[in-house]
Amino acid sequence: MVVAAHPLAAKAGLKMLKQGGNAVDAAIATAFALNATEPFASGIGGGGFMVIYLSQEKKVTVINFREKAPSQAFPEMFSEKGEIKKEWRVAHGLAVAVPGALAGWNYALKKYGTKNLANVMQRGIEIAEEGFKITPTFSAINKDEYEKLIKNAGEETTYLNKGFPYEPGEIFRNPDLARTFRKLATKGVDEFYRGEIARKIVEAIKIKGGIMTLKDLASYSPVEQIPLKGTYKDYTLYTLPPPGSGGLHIIQLLNIIQNWPIQKWGHNSPAYIHHFCEALCFVFADKARYLGDPDFIQIPVARLISKKYAAQIASKIKPDRLSGFYPPGEFEDNQLDQGNTTHLCVVDKKGNIVSLTQSINYFFGSGIVPAETGFLLNNHMADFSLDPHSLNAPRPNHRPVSSMAPLVVLREGKPVLTLGSPGGTRIFPSLTQIIVNIVDFGMSIDEAIETPRFFSYSFQGKAKSISIESRLAEKTIKFLEKMGHKVTIREAFDKYFGGAQGIMIPRGKKLFLGGADSRRDGYGVGY
Amino acid sequence: MKKIFLIASLFLLIFNLQGFSQGAKEYVFEEPLLISSAGQSAEVQIASVLAKRAGLSYTLEKIATIKDLENVKTLVLVLGTSMKGLGAAGLDMAKEKGRVKNLLKEAEKKNIPLLCLHLGGETRRGKLTDEMIRDFLPSAKAAIVVKSGNKDGIFSQICEENNIPLIEVEKTVQALKSFKKAFKHKIENHKSN
């Protein structure tokens, strides 16, 4: 089974499975197809993380292909004469971090796959050449990012239809991307990191004021890591270690929630939402204080995910009002933060699992497209902190902290769930809600994903408003306001809260249950 | 027969049946334009590209204030609310509505007519956008909208109630022709003189 954020991409993965590929082959095939079908959310111009469960070895591993800051990056790089230039982090050459996706996919394929790069990218090539109908999701995002695309990609770009956003139903083709993929199929990933594509990347970034060098690209490599492990009731979660912060914070949140009678309170009841949001405020304070690139700093991971620490946080939370003070952190009040990124899950017939989250950061990334290559460059430098003293400030070759959290869940040693989501800082709060929906409230995977979500965080010690989907009951909102919360109501199915994809593996059954998110164009296929 | 033909032609001339709301006379605007947003949606940028391609003299100011109306002959408001856009501009709905209200008040004082656009179609309608439409469209001298955004007839209804010519186009790119037509070009004036 394959679940991904576009039907064509999910089907590309399924085709690979049917052709005898394993879960890793299928995941990479899906990833290439997502670059063609959902180019605004991921692709070879970005990076990500992959959690792989190998059923024969009963082993879980993580491939970290997160982007890196260029070697000339420095903590004050987004300031000029003391003034922070927000635009430089988002839609400028300085916003681009060294892409890791292709290196990561290639690494995973060589070590754990059975097919070669040319095989797995074939369907991606076909989709880019043949084109497909633009969905309302694609069109809306295209419109949202129009200004950035006009400025950085130009009116003639493939990513606009004769200079205007695509409308639903129009055909989107990307022949430049197809040509790029064909080049990679014959010349290998070195063409991207050391060859002509590398030169085009550096040139495009330089024109837009960036500092990436050919050496930065040539020296990029992904990293295989030991997964982070946590428990929730009789479930074991495997997810990303730092610089992925999402998995760590899911474990933290679940540890805190375990202290409360949430089933008694009820799903999405005022008491549940209040306690959950208060917990989020403490967790975000920890995120700001402790998280960075573990290649360069020490992170107290064991302390952060300990049940004891969680119990201490739970005891600080008042049942009927805001705590009022949360340990101060450096998490920016980033009003530009969006629900971006993409996630896919694959389970093959032997029970191997891949949970992959990847991104070019903001939708349409930096808006910069290297000449005639067809792919968008990321703006993941925006995931570094603006505070030059922060552990997560931009520094040479550092990976920025990520909220991504692909995960695999086991029960009694057997995999029962794989899950992940895009959504920026809403990733781990949303995934925690989905896990609780399944484990505590008995929902199916699809129900757990579709049910209304909420989000909150703290900034400099103060709680921010709770964002909720408008489907939550009016009286719930009033109760929360009575407790002292400010509530922001968003769309009924708002992609601000992510676009989760998941596969459930019920015990004792030869059956996979897929769940895809209506907030994006999520789709599941199996056989 | 001749008489019937003449009356029919006059009828067609007065009531241009192609896309105008019944009874509303076509309004012709003048350059230069000030293009601004009511709601901070991304479509305000599209309007500037339309103006550029139409060869019109314009200024784009997403959060225009009354000082931006200096030397302007037409105010173009692109209707559409975006939470992301409001956040990026440091505004909320109340502040944005206040800004646009002040702008319209000043435009009225200076006899600067208003042209409203809604370019996003059906997917760019929602509760917050509808508030902008209801608050500001009634002050317009004309409106150009992408047809799918008028499926429920909100634009038709408001335009009819206020005798505002409404031009509907199938796609955003087709708004270019209507946009051009809505403005009195200097070169045309020159020719007629």
Question: What is the ipTM score, two decimals?
Answer: 0.78
What is the distance in angstroms between the Cα of B5 and the nearest Cα belonging to chain A?
Answer: 41
**Nearest-Cα residue of chain B relative to residue A162:** B173
What is the distance in angstroms between the Cα of A89 and the nearest Cα belonging to chain B?
Answer: 14
pLDDT at A333 over 50: no
Beta strand B114-118 with B74-79 is: parallel
Can you tell me which residue has the tokens 């309302």?
A136
The least confident of A31-40, A171-180, A518-527 is A518-527
Confidence of residue B193 (pLDDT cuts 50, 70, 90): very low
pTM of the model: 0.86
| Average pLDDT value for residue range A20-31 | 97
Contacts made by residues A359-362, CB under 8 angstroms, sequence distance 24+: A359/A41, A359/A42, A359/A46, A359/A47, A359/A48, A359/A404, A359/A422, A360/A40, A360/A41, A360/A42, A360/A43, A360/A45, A360/A46, A361/A46, A362/A90, A362/A145, A362/A336, A362/A338
Query: Cβ distance A446 to A506 under 8 Å?
Result: no
Q: Name the nearest CA neighbour of A448 among A459, A440, A439, A438.
A: A438
Q: Regarding predicted confidence, which is higher, B6 or A138?
A: A138
Residues in chain A whose Cβ is within 8 Å of chain B: 136, 139-140, 143-147, 150, 155, 161-165, 167-168, 335-336, 338, 490-491
CB distance B84–A165 less than 8 Å?
no
- Chain A partners within 8 Å of B84 (Cβ): 144, 336, 338
Q: Name the nearest CA neighbour of A293 among A63, A102, A69, A49.
A: A69
Give the mean pLDDT of chain A.
92
- Domains (range + CATH), chain A: 2-224+363-383 (no CATH), 234-335+405-522 (3.60.20.40)
Q: For chains A and B, what is the number of CB pairs under 8 angstroms?
A: 49
CB distance B42–A145 less than 8 Å?
yes
pLDDT for res B6: 56
Query: Cβ distance A88 to A94 under 8 Å?
Result: yes
Give the mean pLDDT of chain B.
86
DSSP per residue over A83-111, as a string? EE-HHHHHSSGGGPPBP-HHHHHHHHHHH
Kind and range of the H or E element at B2? helix B2-14
Kindly list the catalytic residues of A.
Answer: 341
| Average pLDDT value for residue range B150-176 | 94
Query: Cβ distance A378 to A34 under 8 Å?
Result: no
Range B19-192: architecture per CATH: 3-Layer(aba) Sandwich (3.40)
CB distance B42–A143 less than 8 Å?
yes
Beta strand A79-80 with A414-420 is: unpaired
Distance CA A241, CA A292 (A): 11
Query: Cβ distance B131 to B138 under 8 Å?
Result: no
**Nearest-Cα residue of chain B relative to residue A136:** B123
Extents of the domains making up chain B? 19-192
User: How do residues A163-210 score in pLDDT, each as one tens digit?
Assistant: 999 999 999 999 999 999 999 999 999 999 999 999 999 999 999 999
Q: Name the nearest CA neighbour of B176 among B45, B37, B54.
A: B54
- Chain A partners within 8 Å of B87 (Cβ): 335-336
CB distance A146–B121 less than 8 Å?
no
| Structure token digits, residue B18 | 């192609």
What is the distance in angstroms between the Cα of A135 and the nearest Cα belonging to chain B?
Answer: 11
pLDDT at B159 over 80: yes
What is the distance in angstroms between the Cα of B192 and the nearest Cα belonging to chain A?
Answer: 33
User: How do residues B109-120 score in pLDDT, each as one tens digit?
Assistant: 999 999 999 998
Distance CA A122, CA A16 (A): 10
Which of A139, A146, A168 shows the shortest C-beta gap to B45?
A: A146
pLDDT at B92 over 60: yes
